[in-house]
Amino acid sequence: MLCHDSKLEPVGVCRMCAVEVEGARVMAASCIREAEAGMVVKTASEKVDRCRAMLTELLLSEQREESLKESTTGDDELYALQRRYDVTVKLPQGNSRPMDDSSPAIAVDHQACILCDRCIRACDDLQNNDVIGRTGKGYTARISFDLDNPMGISTCVTCGECVAACPTGALLNKELSAPMRPRSELKAVDSVCPYCGVGCGLTYHVDTEENRVVFAEGRDNPGSQGRLCVKGRYGWDYVQHPHRLTKPLIRVQYPKAALSAETVNSDRDGKRRKPGGIVDYEEVMPAFREASWDEALDLIASKLGGIKAEHGPGALAGFGSAKCSNEEAYLFQKLIRVVFGTNNVDHCTRLCHASSVAALLEMIGSGAVTTTYGDVCNADVVLVTGSNTTSNHPVAATFFKEAARAGAKMIVVDPRGSGISEHAWRFCQIRSGSDVAFYNAVMNVIIAEGLVDEEYVAQYTTDFETVKETVARYTPEFASAICGVSAESIREVAITYGKAKAAVTYWGMGMSQHVHGTDNCRCIISLALMTGNMGKHGAGLHPLRGQNNVQGASDAGLIPMVYPDYQPVGQDDVRAKFENAWGVALDPNPGLTVVEIMKAALAGTVRGMYMLGENPFLSDPNTNKVRDALTALDFLVVQDIFLTETAEFADVVLPATSALEKNGTFTNTDRRVQVGRQALQPPGEARTDWRIICDIAARMGHPMEYGSSADVFDEMVSLMHAYRGLSHENLGATGKLYPCPNPDESDGTIVMFGDGFPTENGRARFVAAEHTGADELPDAEYPFVLVTGRVLEHWHTGVMTRRSHTLHAREPEAFVEIHPDDCTDNGIAAGDFVRVSSRRGAIRLKVRPSAACQPGSVFIPFHFREAGANILTTDKLDPDGKIPEFKFCAVKFERLDP
Amino acid sequence: MIQETRAMLEFADDPKQIELATYRKNGGYDAFEKALKEMSPDDVTQEVLKSGLRGRGGAGFPTGRKWQFVPKGNDKPKYIAVNADESEPGTCKDRVIMEQDPHQMLEGTLLAAYAVGATTAYIYIRGEFQKSIRIVEDAIDEARAANLIGKNILGTDFSCDIWVHPGAGAYICGEETALLTSLEGNRGYPRIKPPFPAVEGLWRCPTVVNNVETMACVTQILRRGGDWFAGLGCEGSTGTRLFCLSGHLKRPGVYELECSTDFTLRDVIEQIGGGTLSGAPIQGVMPGGSSFPVLRADELDCGFDIESVAKAGSSLGSGAIMVFDDTVNVRDVVLNISEFYSHESCGQCTPCREGSDWVRRMLKKFQTDGPDEGDIATLMDVTDKMDGTTICALAVAIVWPVQSFLKKYPEAFAEKVTA
Amino acid sequence: MSGNESKFSSELVAKVNELWKRYPHKKAALIPAMHLIQAERDGWFSDETVADTAALFGLPDMHVRGVVGFYDMFHSEPVGRHVVRLCKTLSCKLRGADGLIQHVNERYGVKNGETTQDGCFTFKHFECLGHCANAPMMLVDDEKHLDLTADKLDSVLGGLS
């Protein structure tokens, strides 16, 4: 009763569920004792009740006068037992034990701990983090973190799984927002986490009077199974930040330029103003004035309409957002295509998995994952490549770690060590940019060892010979010289993968964000195909999608070359279908992609833009170029919930709503379409994004009217074969994995392509790739390789996460990771400031020595405006995916005086 | 006069007995060699069953039956764990075997391994016994060099390795499942039974856990015959046993005795132990380690065997007979006992973790201030609920003695009269 | 993993390698190995030693810390050059352990768990050390001293350096 939690293995330590077994001298813990035939059990008796009452009293005698959980959320399970068994505590109070307040989000009250073990199992078995253990013995036993450190300085990642598991007030959510009122007085809203593509189900507990979220909890769904990470559990308080935009803003300060110091120039040696942070409103707001919705919308319609009239539809472009719902993505692309009259619509998928999708579409005819992250439990070999899963897909990582612990061989291939590589069976730390050489050698071995699934290749694929021919030259010895992994290791890994009964591949942007990103993906797709690791449980391909709705936004057509459901704009019959549905003639030419649009803005061919929830100033490569591009636009509308760095260049800023303030569907990395539900009222005059889109359409002479987001969904589904059968209603509480043609009977499809592929001939096509290497190699002047990426606590450009108390407290400032040997060679110590520069710019930030980097390589997360990593990155693109090379450019660094 | 019957300790006084050559000269490993070459594993088990041997660790479970619980035809490896974590207060006999005749334990271990088909045995010796560890390790090395341990022992198909595994100071690791948890490299937490170790023990494989003295008995049984063993002692308490006499006695020591209904516990205390050192009257006796009820001076005329002592309300337990005379305050004695068990509670399950220390605190108060009104009843109530609700038997090891002291020495625990 | 050389002496690592061969899982050698590690690291487990041990075994820090905290023979605080463990359980108590404890408190100025000012020894009360028939007794490091009296105790402790 106290130690039991249905998600955890029973341990039978609290003894509160002890029952009488006839014929036995001792009582049995019913949570763990298996019933046997003929066993006579008394679950209720005077003896049972008296024992429970006594145990309750013993435990209560160690508690504080008042339970911190009982006086807040009112759901302390020990006190519930006290009420149930009518216990008055007559025993003298026990010793006092300390309070540990060191974590930003979690209070640890050792006095209230009853050693039920739930937090330990939650940390170790569910999240597989192994932070919480026990130390001491007997009465002095207590839970402990790592080396018995305070929680706040331990390696705890603040996922809060322990808090969710704790039955008493020993592990408590600190108050982040409104006072914690009893659970029964709060409204529980079932929704979906707004951060990454894992799309964890969660429940917001809302104080409706205060219009505030009080706390969030994981909610069981077939994917995330109730687990959350620090962002999901503690990262929602940004929506209540005082910086929220509540009224439309119109620019008054011209000529246009960047406004805050960091945006004007991040390379400010010795002129640091404030550490870290967010746009300084005092600095930026004077450039704008508040306006009514009518005035703002009229201005937008006239300016954008004017540009279209004068320069043609191609002078307009829009960036939608993978943070918004499917409905909003659908309407946004519809607005751009139907009202603006151009296909210049794209979003951040271009920056994350465009190359993965390009390779997948080309080879297997579908850009989505072929199996789920949870299917890892059915694999005996797991390949995780180019993915810092523990930081970027933390809850998916818990399943990977669990599989590894259960005996699956996890092979991690990555230039940079990360949390997931610590759980690897083999970690192949390849040199940056050598993926193709490595995987070609793996395929070379598989072919040489006769591990090709000839039957599968013959039945389901074409063009195997091209790959066979290409990889013939990539012997392990040849590749080893390129990738730095020993030939022996390559062989071992190849043979292990080749012999697997079921091998599944998960990859992240370490694969995709290269000028050879599409080639990288071609290799791992070929690898899966030639070994027949497709169309069965525990096998397949899964690019881990970044944003909560990057899968959905792509599905919904927020891509310049395709309509919803990846239907090419250039294909006449397809276009006719959409023209018919939307009632206008459509542009037959594919539009420009994200980076191309920026280049066009700089060249003056794109003049007006509508940006919905994107912040390219920080997220796009080569910031100095982006700054010029944004400045060059004639007219820029930014629609967001905060004043972003990009909004500093806007002519009109529209106040939008956060994910917690509206209804809509989101499609996660697994293809699970889930309904996000409104938990809060939007602040001030902020409007729901999809309504704003409709408002603009109407002002521009093309009314789009919908009663609700469910109506938008229905229209969208009618044009998307993959989503057929789905509606808000039948998605229910836990959503569906598309394709799911019978949603009333099924949760949807986990494994795709058991019998062929959605290509013209029904077969997958092998495409060979040659190792070409990165665009900008290190040289004498810029001798280091820069790899950019993310950290667990922050999300993309930090607009949301840096306004969250817990996330900011855990990771408050920009840093660069440098290998300890390189630090020593350059006379640099932890905490020193360095100036890191590339051919495109320079930034200044703090050093964090880390053996996770390879010598000769540095890592910088791109979330931090005060040291934007993209000032350094190159905007060279992959020829097929049009994705920039965020994972490789040449830099140098020098120590700055304190 | 009661006399010692020296079988296990026959050669224990010879300092050379720890050497393989001497052990072999004295008939050592003959029984093992014979078993290997002439007996089936089941024959060995049958011989042990015939002897009536009951485990010498304290619980007294029939050894042969324990071995029979090991599943046959299971492809999992099987293990032997010899419990040499001798820590029960008053108990100091296993150490005598290890330090004075280690091969006798090893031979029994090999016989047990042969009987159940185990290929590895670990001798879990408490970490404080550095001398025992050294001597047993040397003995293993010698035996291994002589192909008595290791691969294809004495040219047969039977292979078995034996390793010493030192503990690190935790009484609870003498509990058989805690021993296994500890041996696997963890905090020594007892496991919930069933499953029993013979079915699921080390690394979830079948594991026989036997005490050191039990293994020595196995050697004697296979050397001299199950019938011989069964003919010693009395029904239910066959063979010889090592008894540890300690406390206020003239002649404390480890003695090898046969149990008998013909003489009494008092006879043993007086004739073997020599009565109290000071000559002061006996106040009480813990006849089987400190985890069983105390017997008052007027309760010692029971027979000297498992059944009779049980009938008298206590247990022969691990064979540790601790005697205290009337110069000591029983409140100090029971507090000392409670301090031991509360210190040694592993802390895993609630009734023991919370209860044992609560009992200790209460008894501390009794010692310094005396009980307040109602305290005795509360203490009895709390200890009642600790009995039978825990994962292992450590909680009852504090409950039984404490309750017995409160009941048997009411005058020492008279409640304060509140004004 | 690269660059992850053990922080322990090569002799110790060699011994641990031998221990690992005795068990089907490395973890089982933890406690035997920790005795060796504690001896090499000044008789106690600092945070650093715990972390090094965890790294050697590929176990979480908290696991090793929890093992240190569970077993009385592992120390989580610095100790003197010698560790004196005096048995205080019933058989020893009945034969004068309390008096010896008091004697050590007064004569050497150390209570349970304390180390003499000169760092010579750390004094610990221990529960039953298994020599009940030769009570009272103590262990000084690995050596046992039986049938103890105050005089005998002084001659042993006086001989420590």
Statement: residue C3 has pLDDT above 80? no
Amino acid at A52: R
Residue A65: what pLDDT? 84
Per-residue pLDDT, averaged over C147-157, amounts to 97
| Chain C residues closer than 8 Å to B247 by CB | 90-91, 94-95, 132, 135
Per-residue pLDDT, averaged over A235-256, amounts to 96
pLDDT class of A179 with cuts at 50, 70, 90: confident
Residue A262: what pLDDT? 81
What percentage of residues in chain A have a pLDDT greater than 90? Answer: 94
Per-residue pLDDT, averaged over A344-351, amounts to 95
Q: How many CB atoms lie within 10 A of CB A356?
A: 32
CA distances to A23, A26, A28, A653 from A43, rounded to whole Å, are 15, 14, 10, 65
Nearest CB neighbour to C61, from listed A134, A146, A429: A146
The residues, ordered by sequence, that sit 6+ positions from A400 with a Cβ below 8 Å of its Cβ are: A373, A376, A382, A384, A389, A410, A420, A423, A506
Numbered ranges of CATH 3.40.30.10 in chain C: 82-158
Q: Which chains touch C (3 or more CB pairs under 8 A)?
A: A, B
Pairwise CB contact (< 8 Å): B351 & A33: no
* Touching C: B residues 4-33, CB under 8 Å: none
Look-up of token digits 């057509």: A557
Per-residue pLDDT, averaged over B229-234, amounts to 97
- Whether chain B has a CB inside 8 Å of the CB on A50: the answer is yes
Residue B74: what pLDDT? 77
**Which CATH code, of 1.10.1740.10, 3.40.630.30, 3.40.30.10, 3.40.50.300, is assigned to C82-158?**
3.40.30.10
CA neighbor of A161 nearest in space, from A335, A7, A276: A7
Mutate to test the interface with C, among A135, A425, A426 (most CBs of C within 10 A): A135
Whether residue A249 contacts residue A291, with contact meaning beta carbons closer than 8 Å, is answered with yes
CA neighbor of A460 nearest in space, from A198, A762, A737, A735: A762
Statement: residue C1 has pLDDT above 70? no
pLDDT class of A261 with cuts at 50, 70, 90: confident
Per-residue pLDDT, averaged over B302-323, amounts to 96
Statement: residue A741 has pLDDT above 70? yes
- Whether chain C has a CB inside 8 Å of the CB on B179: the answer is no
Question: Phi and psi of A576, rounded to 5°?
Answer: -60, -40
Could you tell me the sign of the dihedral formed by the alpha carbons of B128, B130, B133, B136, in that order? Answer: negative
Cross-strand partners of A21: A41
Helices (H), A344-473: 349-352, 354-364, 389-392, 394-405, 435-448, 454-460, 464-471
Nearest CB neighbour to C65, from listed A135, A137, A421: A135
Looking at the complex, report in whole angstroms how far the Cα of residue C63 sits from the nearest Cα belonging to chain A: 6
Numbered ranges of CATH 1.10.10 in chain C: 5-70
Pairwise CB contact (< 8 Å): B128 & C22: no
Pairwise CB contact (< 8 Å): A138 & B347: yes
Q: CA-nearest residue of chain B to A2?
A: B350
- Cα separation, B327 vs C93, whole angstroms: 12
Per-residue pLDDT, averaged over A452-479, amounts to 98
| Chain A residues closer than 8 Å to C52 by CB | none
SS3 state at A349: helix
Nearest CB neighbour to C35, from listed B168, B171, B247: B168
Residue A378: what pLDDT? 98
Give per-residue pLDDT as tens, A687-735: 999 999 999 999 999 999 999 999 999 999 999 999 999 999 999 999 9
SS3 state at A465: helix
Give per-residue pLDDT as tens, A777-834: 999 999 999 999 999 999 999 999 999 999 999 999 999 999 999 999 999 999 999 9
Nearest CB neighbour to C27, from listed B129, B184, B188: B184
Cβ neighbourhood burial of A33 (10 Å; 0-12, 13-18, 19+) = buried
Mutate to test the interface with B, among C132, C139, C140 (most CBs of B within 10 A): C132
Question: Phi and psi of A498, rounded to 5°?
Answer: -65, -30
Residue B417: what pLDDT? 59
Amino acid at B262: D
Looking at the complex, report in whole angstroms how far the Cα of residue C1 sits from the nearest Cα belonging to chain B: 23
- Whether chain C has a CB inside 8 Å of the CB on B184: the answer is yes
Q: Give the fold, CATH level 3, of C5-70.
A: Arc Repressor Mutant, subunit A (1.10.10)
Q: CA-nearest residue of chain C to A138?
A: C70
- Whether chain C has a CB inside 8 Å of the CB on B185: the answer is yes
The residues, ordered by sequence, that sit 6+ positions from A618 with a Cβ below 8 Å of its Cβ are: A645, A646, A796, A797, A798, A862, A863, A865, A868, A870
Looking at the complex, report in whole angstroms how far the Cα of residue A375 sits from the nearest Cα belonging to chain C: 26
| Chain A residues closer than 8 Å to B390 by CB | 15, 26
- Cα separation, A288 vs A271, whole angstroms: 26
Whether residue A105 contacts residue A173, with contact meaning beta carbons closer than 8 Å, is answered with yes
Q: CA-nearest residue of chain C to B333?
A: C90
Pairwise CB contact (< 8 Å): A148 & C69: yes
Give per-residue pLDDT as tens, A487-524: 999 999 999 999 999 999 999 999 999 999 999 999 99
* Touching B: A residues 98-127, CB under 8 Å: 114-115
Give per-residue pLDDT as tens, C45-69: 999 999 999 999 999 999 999 999 9
Pairwise CB contact (< 8 Å): C135 & B252: yes
Question: Phi and psi of B166, rounded to 5°?
Answer: -75, 140
Q: How many CB atoms lie within 10 A of CB A567?
A: 17
Statement: residue C17 has pLDDT above 50? yes
Average pLDDT score, chain C: 95
Pairwise CB contact (< 8 Å): C132 & B244: yes
Whether residue A844 contacts residue A867, with contact meaning beta carbons closer than 8 Å, is answered with yes
Statement: residue B65 has pLDDT above 60? yes
What percentage of residues in chain A have a pLDDT greater than 70? Answer: 99
CA neighbor of A669 nearest in space, from A564, A546, A773, A502: A546
Could you tell me the sign of the dihedral formed by the alpha carbons of A126, A128, A129, A135, in that order? Answer: positive
- Cα separation, A629 vs A634, whole angstroms: 10
Nearest CB neighbour to A147, from listed C1, C3, C50: C50
Q: Does this complex have an ipTM over 0.85?
A: yes
Statement: residue A56 has pLDDT above 50? yes
Pairwise CB contact (< 8 Å): B89 & C128: yes
| Chain C residues closer than 8 Å to A851 by CB | 3
Nearest CB neighbour to C61, from listed A124, A147, A417: A147
SS3 state at B49: helix
pLDDT class of A267 with cuts at 50, 70, 90: low
Whether residue A756 contacts residue A744, with contact meaning beta carbons closer than 8 Å, is answered with no
CA-based radius of gyration for chain A: 28
Rounded (10°) CA dihedral A709, A710, A715, A720: 100
Q: Which chains touch B (3 or more CB pairs under 8 A)?
A: A, C
Whether residue A386 contacts residue A633, with contact meaning beta carbons closer than 8 Å, is answered with no
Whether residue B78 contacts residue B118, with contact meaning beta carbons closer than 8 Å, is answered with yes
Going by their DSSP bridges, the two strands B237-238 and B161-166 should be labelled as: unpaired
Cβ neighbourhood burial of B77 (10 Å; 0-12, 13-18, 19+) = middle
- Cα separation, C68 vs A528, whole angstroms: 46
Whether residue C96 contacts residue A162, with contact meaning beta carbons closer than 8 Å, is answered with no
* Touching C: B residues 269-308, CB under 8 Å: 286, 290
* Touching C: B residues 91-130, CB under 8 Å: 91-92, 95, 126-130
Mutate to test the interface with C, among B87, B92, B96 (most CBs of C within 10 A): B92
Question: Phi and psi of A708, rounded to 5°?
Answer: -160, 170
Which residues from C are below 8 Å from A when comparing CB atoms? 1-3, 47, 50-51, 60-63, 65-66, 68-70
| Chain C residues closer than 8 Å to A144 by CB | 62, 65-66, 69
Statement: residue A154 has pLDDT above 90? yes
Nearest CB neighbour to B168, from listed C74, C135, C144: C74
* Touching C: B residues 350-409, CB under 8 Å: none
- Whether chain C has a CB inside 8 Å of the CB on A857: the answer is no
- Cα separation, A276 vs A864, whole angstroms: 7
Statement: residue B344 has pLDDT above 50? yes
Distance of CA C40 to the CA centre of its chain: 12
pLDDT class of A263 with cuts at 50, 70, 90: confident
The residues, ordered by sequence, that sit 6+ positions from A183 with a Cβ below 8 Å of its Cβ are: A73, A74, A75, A205
Pairwise CB contact (< 8 Å): C71 & B127: yes
* Touching C: A residues 735-764, CB under 8 Å: none
Statement: residue A269 has pLDDT above 60? no
Nearest CB neighbour to A134, from listed C47, C50, C66: C66
Question: Phi and psi of B188, rounded to 5°?
Answer: -80, 75
CA distances to A426, A679, B125, B235 from C38, rounded to whole Å, are 31, 55, 18, 49
Q: What is the DSSP letter of A748?
A: B
Statement: residue B409 has pLDDT above 70? yes
Residue A92: what pLDDT? 78
The residues, ordered by sequence, that sit 6+ positions from C20 with a Cβ below 8 Å of its Cβ are: C26, C29
Average pLDDT score, chain A: 95
